[in-house]
């Protein structure tokens, strides 16, 4: 006889809201967990769902960085008095296993978007005195945590007098939020100007469905932030980049107070800092436009943030000179020239490489820059062997954003698909500098108008 499905409250951090669904869907697929929705708000920080097993809830929370905590939901109402009435009628056979004399407990009060004093919180706890708890109170290390939540919306500077929703339930599991602090760039040994935020790095690793033993590649590795996140989840990580100085820790320091880099700064040093060196394969100086992998080489996942040509150059090895050759005597010390590697070519090569070198069912997760008013899904990069399974936006400015694209490989490419022409993609870099110059011009004109108005006002005041 199968156990009945139980109702749970998933309470999320109110950050990167648009990435929530993609991360949870990826983890449900990774762990082969079935989840049913009872209530799925769009912007609110909670979902009400059903699971067949509490272990499924704990497994989901053990990998999610979006989740704050999960409760077995005993009551949910719009008004406080209705919640109390509902709890009084909640089946005792479902409560009793957790309220036994040999189980210590505590009740926590959480309010979202409204602050209460400790005394006010204690007063709220006292209203639950009717609960049939029998064990002792233990505020430090209880066997059972009961949680009462009042939700006052998402506008912190103007909360309502009464909560919109109230919840009560038994704490089941917390998400992996502590990992964000552990991997903070503030304390990391080696970072660069474009090092990826730890939370976004972990979200990318989850959307790539990285699991223990996977081989993971970042072909635009930079300072290796994505490799750190992938290794945290059990991946064996490998990276390549065209920037020799970055991979050897010889670029200008990114921290303001740091005058020069320390001798041991490197991606390997980051891995060692987090006790992940055993999962570090290597990084190589490599031009991604010139593939060197053998035919049968396959990766379980590819996670990357290609350069957009704004804070870092989009370059590949090459020259605009015709019939250019290097004499043998100069070859040992020759540094290859570089030319522009346009965004359209970068994403064409990335998806073609993924179609060829990703395992079937594997995922490639990458960022793609867009202008918000021009955005259209038809303008995204694509490949017939890859299915777009997630597309989340991170707003950068009023006019620009980047989208986190997650593709899953459906099948191996045919010979024709390996050499196919891809659709052209708008070059974000070219338009970015045009728009930025227009914005600067508008700002200069506005400043000039203000100066002229001030001058005229000054004349009028004298008169």
Model confidence pLDDT, tens digit, residues 238-292: 999 999 889 999 888 888 888 889 989 999 999 999 999 999 999 999 999 888 8
Total number of domains in the chain: 2
Q: Residue range 58-65: average pLDDT?
A: 97
Residues 127 and 210 in one domain: no
pTM of the model: 0.89
CATH number of residue 367's parent domain: 3.40.50.150
**d(C-alpha 287, C-alpha 133), whole Å:** 65
Looking at residue 433, its pLDDT comes to: 66
Buried/exposed 312-343: b ≥16 CB within 10 Å, e otherwise: bebbbebeeeeeeeeeeeeeeeeeeeeeebbb
pLDDT tops 90 at residue 71: yes
pLDDT tops 90 at residue 146: yes
What is the pairing mode between strands 6-12 and 67-77? antiparallel
Q: Residues 357, 293: contact at Cβ < 8 Å?
A: yes
Residues 147 and 274 in one domain: no
Considering only 159-168, 189-198, 435-444, which range has the smallest mean pLDDT? 435-444
Residues 147 and 219 in one domain: no
pLDDT tops 70 at residue 324: no
DSSP assignment string, 42-82: SSSSEEEEEES-HHHHHHHHTT-SSEEEEEEEEEEESSHHH
Looking at residue 5, its pLDDT comes to: 93
pLDDT tops 90 at residue 331: no
Is 194 within the bounds of a domain? no
Residues 232 and 125 in one domain: no
Q: Residue range 144-153: average pLDDT?
A: 96
Q: Bigger pLDDT: 191 or 420?
A: 191
Q: Bigger pLDDT: 224 or 436?
A: 224
Is 211 within the bounds of a domain? yes
Q: Residues 113, 156: contact at Cβ < 8 Å?
A: yes
Residues 229 and 158 in one domain: no
Q: pLDDT (tens digit, 9 = 90+) per residue, 371-411?
A: 888 888 988 999 999 999 999 999 998 888 999 999 999 99
Q: Bigger pLDDT: 312 or 174?
A: 174
**d(C-alpha 4, C-alpha 169), whole Å:** 18
Is 183 within the bounds of a domain? no
3-state secondary structure at position 201: helix
Q: Residue range 226-239: average pLDDT?
A: 98
What mean pLDDT, rounded, does the chain reach?
90
Q: Sorting pLDDT into bands at 50, 70 and 90, what band is 16?
A: very high
DSSP 20: H
Looking at residue 463, its pLDDT comes to: 61
Domain of 333, in residue numbers:
201-435
**d(C-alpha 329, C-alpha 414), whole Å:** 43
Q: pLDDT (tens digit, 9 = 90+) per residue, 175-210?
A: 999 999 999 999 999 999 889 999 999 999 999 999
Q: Sorting pLDDT into bands at 50, 70 and 90, what band is 438?
A: low
Residues 156 and 285 in one domain: no
pLDDT tops 70 at residue 312: no
Is 445 within the bounds of a domain? no
Q: Bigger pLDDT: 19 or 460?
A: 19
Q: Sorting pLDDT into bands at 50, 70 and 90, what band is 437?
A: low
Residues 168 and 205 in one domain: no
Q: Residues 217, 231: contact at Cβ < 8 Å?
A: no
Element (H, E) at 217: strand 215-218
Q: Sorting pLDDT into bands at 50, 70 and 90, what band is 310?
A: low
Is 264 within the bounds of a domain? yes
Q: Sorting pLDDT into bands at 50, 70 and 90, what band is 330?
A: low
Q: Sorting pLDDT into bands at 50, 70 and 90, what band is 318?
A: low
pLDDT tops 90 at residue 417: no
Residues 336 and 409 in one domain: yes
pLDDT tops 90 at residue 446: no
- Return the ∠ at Cα 420 (arms to 337 and 393), rounded to 5°: 75
Residues 85 and 139 in one domain: yes
Residues 243 and 370 in one domain: yes
Is 45 within the bounds of a domain? yes
Residues 207 and 169 in one domain: no
Residues 82 and 210 in one domain: no
Q: Sorting pLDDT into bands at 50, 70 and 90, what band is 69?
A: very high
Is 324 within the bounds of a domain? yes
CATH number of residue 152's parent domain: 3.30.2130.30
Is 227 within the bounds of a domain? yes
């Amino acid at each position: 006889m199968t156990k009945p499905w139980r109702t749970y409250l998933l309470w999320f951090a109110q950050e990167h809201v648009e990435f929530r669904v993609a991360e949870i869907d990826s983890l449900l697929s990774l762990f082969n967990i079935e989840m049913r929705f009872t209530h799925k708000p769009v912007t609110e920080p909670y979902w009400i769902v059903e699971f067949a097993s509490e272990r499924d809830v704990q497994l989901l929370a053990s990998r999610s960085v979006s989740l704050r905590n999960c409760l077995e939901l005993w009551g949910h109402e719009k008004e406080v008095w209705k919640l109390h009435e509902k709890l009084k009628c909640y089946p005792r056979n479902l409560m009793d296993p957790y309220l036994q004399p040999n189980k210590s407990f505590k009740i926590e009060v959480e309010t979202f978007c409204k602050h209460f004093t400790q005394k006010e919180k204690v007063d709220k706890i006292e209203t639950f005195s009717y609960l049939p708890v029998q064990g002792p109170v233990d505020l430090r290390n209880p066997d059972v945590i009961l949680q009462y939540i009042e939700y006052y919306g998402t506008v912190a500077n103007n909360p309502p007098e009464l909560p919109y929703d109230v919840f009560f339930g038994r704490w089941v599991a917390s998400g992996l939020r502590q990992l964000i602090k552990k991997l903070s760039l503030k304390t990391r040994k080696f970072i660069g100007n474009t090092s990826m935020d730890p939370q976004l790095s972990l979200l990318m690793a989850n959307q790539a469905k990285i699991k223990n033993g996977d081989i993971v590649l970042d072909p635009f590795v930079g300072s290796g932030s994505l490799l750190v996140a992938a290794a945290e989840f059990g991946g064996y990580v490998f990276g390549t980049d065209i920037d020799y100085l970055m991979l050897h820790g010889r670029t200008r320091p990114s921290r303001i107070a740091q005058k020069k880099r320390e001798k041991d700064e490197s991606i390997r040093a980051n891995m060692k800092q987090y006790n992940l060196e055993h999962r570090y394969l290597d990084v190589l100086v490599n031009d991604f436009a010139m593939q060197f992998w053998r035919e049968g080489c396959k990766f379980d996942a590819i996670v990357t943030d290609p350069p957009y040509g704004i804070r870092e150059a989009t370059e590949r090895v090459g020259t605009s000179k015709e019939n250019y050759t290097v004499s043998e005597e100069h070859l040992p010390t020759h540094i290859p020239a570089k030319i522009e590697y346009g965004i359209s070519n970068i994403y064409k090569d990335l998806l073609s490489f993924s179609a060829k070198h990703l395992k079937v069912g594997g995922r490639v997760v990458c960022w793609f820059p867009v202008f918000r008013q021009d955005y259209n899904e038809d303008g995204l990069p694509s490949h017939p062997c890859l299915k777009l399974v997630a597309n989340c936006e991170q707003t950068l400015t009023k006019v620009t954003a980047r989208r986190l694209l997650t593709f899953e490989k459906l099948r191996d490419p045919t010979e024709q698909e390996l050499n196919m022409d891809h659709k052209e993609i708008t070059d974000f870099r070219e338009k970015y500098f045009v728009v930025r110059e227009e914005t600067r011009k508008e700002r200069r004109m506005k400043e000039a108008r203000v100066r002229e108005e001030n001058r005229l006002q000054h004349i009028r005041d004298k008169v």
